[in-house]
Amino acid sequence: MSGPPRLPRNVWAVTLTSFFTDISSEMLVNLIPLFLVGVLGVRTTLVGTIEGVAESTASLLKLAAGMFSDRLGRRKPLAVAGYAVSTLSKPFLYGASSWAHVLAVRFADRVGKGIRTAPRDALVADSVDASQRGIAFGLHRAGDTAGAVVGLGLALVIVLARQSASAELLRETFRTVVLVSLIPAALAVAILALGARETGVGAASGTRPRLGFAGLGRDFRFFIIVVVLFTLGNSSDAFLLLRARDTGLPVAGILGMLITMNLVYAIVAGPAGALSDRLGRRRFLLAGWLVYAGVYLGFASASAGWQTWGLMAIYGVYYGLTAGAVRAYVADLVPAERRGTAYGVLAAAVGIAALPASIIAGLLWQGVAGWPGLGAPAPFVVGAALALVASALLAFGIRERNRPPCSAGGADHASGPRAR
C-alpha cells in the first residue's frame, strides 16, 4: 500500500481545502450554540431545531449535486461553487441579532456544503484506486480535523484575549471570531480552484443515473438504512457542548475540550483509514459506533466538567475510526460512474435524519410547553441505544466488502455491484 507522499495531487488539494475550511468553520460553529443560548437567550429546543434545519434543508441539494456531477462527468466546478457559497455566507453572522438571522446564515452555509460534499468525495474516490481509498479518505479527514484544531485554538486565543474575566460568550467576542474566520475560508476556495484537476471518471460509462436508490445495489441500500437509524440517535454536537456547559465548563474550557477531541480525531483518522484498506471498513465502522455508544452513556451520567472533557477526547476516537471508513466503504459498494449519486444519497439521508434527531434530542432534554421533558441525560441514552441497534444490523446484515487492489487509476469500474 502506498504511503501518503505518493497519493495523487487531488487528494492533497482537497485535504488542504478542507484544512482551511475547517479552520474557518470550527471557529464559528462551536460558538454558535453558546451565542444563541448565552447572548440571544434561545432555549435548547430551538437550538436543536436550528441545527437540524441547517443540516436537513440542504440534504436534497447533496443528492442533486452528486447526481449532477455524475451526469456532467465533472466534480470540480460543483465542489468549488459549494465552498464559495459557504464562504460568502459567513460575514452575515457579524450582525446576527435573532435566532432567525442565525438560522438563515446556517442555512446558506449548509447549502454550500450540500453543493460541494458529494462531488468532492467523488473527486477523491475517482483519483485513487481501491487499495488507497482508506488512506486517501483518512488523510482527508485528518487534514479536515487538523484545521478544526487550529480554528478552535484561534477561537480560544480570541476568547481569552477579549473576555478573560467572563465565563459566558460575549457578543463582541463572537463578532471578532467572525471577522478572523473569513481569511482561511477564502484561502480554501482559492486552493481548490487552482490546485485540483478534473478526473472525468464519472463520464466514462456514458450512462445517465436514475433518481434515488435505483441501480445502486442491495448492500448500499441496506447500509443507508442502517446509517439513518444510527443518525436518528446522533443529534447535533451542540448538545454535547451544552451538556459540558451545564457541568461547569466555561467557554474557554469548552474550546479546550474541543481542541482535545479534534487532536485525537486527527491522530486516529490517517492510521485508521490506512488499516481499513487492509482489515476492512466494516470493522472500523463497528468499532467506532460502539465507542460512540459508550461516550453517549458517559455524557448521560456526567456531573463534572473534567468528565465531559475526557469523554470528548474518546469521542475523537469515534470520529477517527469512522469518518474516512464510511466514505471509502461507499466507494467499495458502487460503480465508479455512480459515486457522485451514492455520496449524494448518503449525505442526503444523514442530513434528513439529522433534523428529527436534533428536534427529538431537544424535546427529550427540555421539552415544550405542557411537557417538561425528561432531562439532560435522556437524549444521550437514546443515542447510545440506537447506535447499538445500528451496530448489530451492520454486523449481521452486510458482509465485508473491501475490494482487492485495482489497476492504476481511479476508474475501477469493477468495484461496484455489477462486478459481483
Taking only the tens of pLDDT, the chain with its 420 residues reads: 344 447 888 889 999 999 999 999 888 887 888 788 777 777 766 776 776 676 666 777 887 787 788 777 788 888 999 999 999 999 998 888 788 888 888 888 888 988 888 888 888 888 887 777 778 888 888 888 888 889 888 988 888 887 765 667 778 888 888 999 999 999 999 999 998 888 766 554 445 545 445 567 788 888 888 989 898 888 777 778 878 887 777 777 888 888 888 889 888 888 887 787 787 788 888 899 999 999 888 888 877 878 888 888 999 999 888 888 888 888 888 777 777 788 888 888 887 887 788 777 777 776 544 554 566 778 888 888 988 999 888 888 766 555 433 333 333 332 332 222
CA distances 338 to 74, 207, 368, 404, Å, are 12, 9, 43, 19
Q: Which residues of 225-260 are buried (b: 16+ CB within 10 A; e: fewer)?
A: ebbbbbbbbbbbbbbbbbbbbebebbbbbbbbbbbb
Which H or E element spans position 66? Answer: helix 59-72
The C-alpha cell at 395 is: 454486523
Nearest to 326 by CA among 283, 360, 367: 283
DSSP symbol at 104: H
The C-alpha cell at 30 is: 462551536
> What radius of gyration do the chain's Cα atoms show?
20
All domains in the chain, ordered by first residue: 8-200+208-419 (1.20.1250.20)
DSSP symbol at 371: B
Q: How far is Cα 374 from Cα 281, in angstroms, rounded to an integer?
A: 36
Give this prediction's pTM. 0.69
Q: What is the pLDDT of residue 162?
A: 77
Q: What is the pLDDT of residue 371?
A: 52
Q: What is the pLDDT of residue 258?
A: 83
Q: Give counts: helices (H), strands (E), the chain.
A: 15, 0
Q: What is the pLDDT of residue 125?
A: 83
Surface-to-core class of residue 30, CB atoms within 10 Å of its CB (0-12 exposed, 13-18 middle, 19+ buried): buried
Q: What is the pLDDT of residue 253?
A: 81
Q: How far is Cα 291 from Cα 389, in angstroms, rounded to an integer?
A: 13
Q: What is the pLDDT of residue 184?
A: 93
Q: What is the pLDDT of residue 4?
A: 45
Q: What is the pLDDT of residue 182?
A: 93
Q: What is the pLDDT of residue 399?
A: 64
CB atoms within 10 A of CB 223: 26
CB atoms within 10 A of CB 3: 10
Q: How far is Cα 238 from Cα 100, in angstroms, rounded to an integer?
A: 17
Which H or E element spans position 57? Answer: none
Q: How far is Cα 106 from Cα 58, in angstroms, rounded to an integer?
A: 10
Q: What is the pLDDT of residue 190?
A: 93
